[in-house]
């Protein structure tokens, strides 16, 4: 595996405090295992993500959970103060994103697609695309130095097909870090053991730590299996027919046309963990 000359910088912009881990936590853990720099951001404060608690009490809890998840892999993290469930793609958000991305100087930025299910996801996905070109424009947000090299932008996986389906440019085998990913999700206790099971009508959540891990493993493994058919051609293309069967869990990313469009070598530099450059 080629070692990059300097650490890569991965920025995952989620709308909510568990989004980065849910759709990109495996890649984040792999990046960290190679000594790269990872920053996981929640643009909103997460105040709407519960059925029993809300407001500052929930925000504080979710900040603590996000910090714990990031600490598990030694990633940087941030929970912003935009209101959960009320995120709008406006000038304020766009300029926040421009400053945030310029300051971090990422090689790769991952976020939601504007087709995702949640309005906060959709608005953030569009806002990131809208911010992309302006990163290089000096007169916009002149207080933060503009970028002379555009990062590569990519989308986190979603299953929605209208108006256009997710196209997996890259599929990463995250089986080696599956337990790390589960541990990161486990840190978001208010979500994976309280709010989401309630919202999704899941059966009773166990109290015991060991049983909770099993509950989460089963849930996430079922999710992996459910998205597998749509990703199978990409898994075979990237891992080869023989190796594909050994790939148990994946994360998928769609490279955007709006930032730097990497060539084969550029893509392999960003995803050194995959065996073949997927072009």
Residues 6+ away with beta carbon under 8 Å from 229 = none
Q: What minimum distance in Å lies between the beta carbon of 112 and Zn ion?
A: 8
Binding mask 96-115 for Zn ion (x = CB under 5 A): --------------------
With CB under 5 A as the contact rule, which of the stretches 8-16, 162-170, 173-181, 257-265 interacts with Zn ion? 8-16
Q: What minimum distance in Å lies between the beta carbon of 40 and Zn ion?
A: 13
Q: What minimum distance in Å lies between the beta carbon of 18 and Zn ion?
A: 7
For residues 269 and 273, give the distance between their C-alpha atoms in angstroms, rounded to a whole number: 9
With CB under 5 A as the contact rule, which of the stretches 7-15, 23-31, 35-43, 143-151 interacts with Zn ion? 7-15
Nearer of residues 15 and 185 to Zn ion, judged by Cβ? 15
Nearer of residues 53 and 243 to Zn ion, judged by Cβ? 53
Q: What minimum distance in Å lies between the beta carbon of 53 and Zn ion?
A: 18
Q: What minimum distance in Å lies between the beta carbon of 20 and Zn ion?
A: 9
Nearer of residues 15 and 73 to Zn ion, judged by Cβ? 15
For residues 87 and 14, give the distance between their C-alpha atoms in angstroms, rounded to a whole number: 12
For residues 67 and 77, give the distance between their C-alpha atoms in angstroms, rounded to a whole number: 7
155 is a site residue for Zn ion (CB under 5 A): no
Nearer of residues 15 and 183 to Zn ion, judged by Cβ? 15
How many residues bind to Zn ion according to rule CB under 5 A? 3
Token digits of residue 192 = 């994976």
Q: What minimum distance in Å lies between the beta carbon of 89 and Zn ion?
A: 15
Nearer of residues 122 and 268 to Zn ion, judged by Cβ? 122
Residues 6+ away with beta carbon under 8 Å from 120 = 15, 16, 43, 44, 84, 85, 86, 87
Nearer of residues 9 and 16 to Zn ion, judged by Cβ? 16
Q: What minimum distance in Å lies between the beta carbon of 21 and Zn ion?
A: 11
Q: What minimum distance in Å lies between the beta carbon of 195 and Zn ion?
A: 11
Question: Tokens 């994103």, residue?
Answer: 97
Nearer of residues 16 and 180 to Zn ion, judged by Cβ? 16
Nearest residue to Zn ion on Cβ basis: 16
Instruction: Give the residues across from 11 on adjacent strands.
Output: 39, 109
Q: Which residues, numbered 10-29, are part of the site for Zn ion (CB under 5 A)? A: 15-16, 19
For every residue of 79-121, DSSP letters joined together read EEEEPTT----SHHHHHHHHHHHHHH--SEEEE--TTSSSHHH
Token digits of residue 115 = 């087709």
Nearer of residues 192 and 271 to Zn ion, judged by Cβ? 192
For residues 118 and 23, give the distance between their C-alpha atoms in angstroms, rounded to a whole number: 14
Q: Which spans of this chain sit near Zn ion (rule: CB under 5 A)?
A: 15-16, 19
């Amino acid at each position: 595996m080629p070692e990059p000359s300097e650490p890569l910088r991965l920025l995952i912009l989620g709308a909510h405090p568990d989004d980065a881990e849910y759709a990109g936590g495996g890649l984040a853990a792999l990046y960290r295992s190679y000594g790269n720099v990872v920053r996981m951001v929640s643009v909103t404060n997460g105040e709407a993500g519960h059925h029993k608690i809300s407001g500052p009490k929930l925000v504080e809890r979710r900040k603590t959970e996000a910090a714990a998840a990031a600490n598990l892999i030694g990633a940087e993290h941030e929970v912003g103060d935009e209101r959960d469930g009320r995120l709008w793609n406006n000038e304020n958000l766009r300029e926040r994103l421009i400053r945030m991305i310029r300051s971090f100087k990422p090689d790769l930025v991952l976020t939601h697609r504007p087709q995702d299910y949640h309005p906060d996801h959709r608005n953030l996905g569009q806002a990131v695309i809208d911010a992309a070109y302006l990163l290089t424009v000096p007169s916009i947000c002149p207080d933060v130095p503009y970028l002379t090299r555009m990062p590569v932008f990519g989308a986190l996986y979603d299953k929605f097909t209208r108006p256009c389906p997710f196209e997996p440019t890259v599929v990463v085998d995250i089986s080696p870090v599956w337990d790390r990913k589960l541990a990161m999700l486990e840190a978001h206790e208010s979500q994976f053991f309280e709010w989401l099971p309630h919202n999704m009508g899941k059966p009773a959540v166990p109290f015991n730590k060991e049983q909770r891990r099993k509950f989460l493993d089963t849930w996430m493994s079922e999710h992996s299996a459910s998205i597998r058919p749509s990703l199978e051609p990409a898994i075979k293309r990237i891992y080869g027919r023989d190796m594909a069967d050994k790939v148990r869990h994946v994360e998928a990313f769609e490279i955007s046309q709006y930032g730097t469009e990497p060539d084969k070598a550029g893509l392999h530099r960003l995803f050194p963990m995959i065996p073949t450059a997927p072009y």
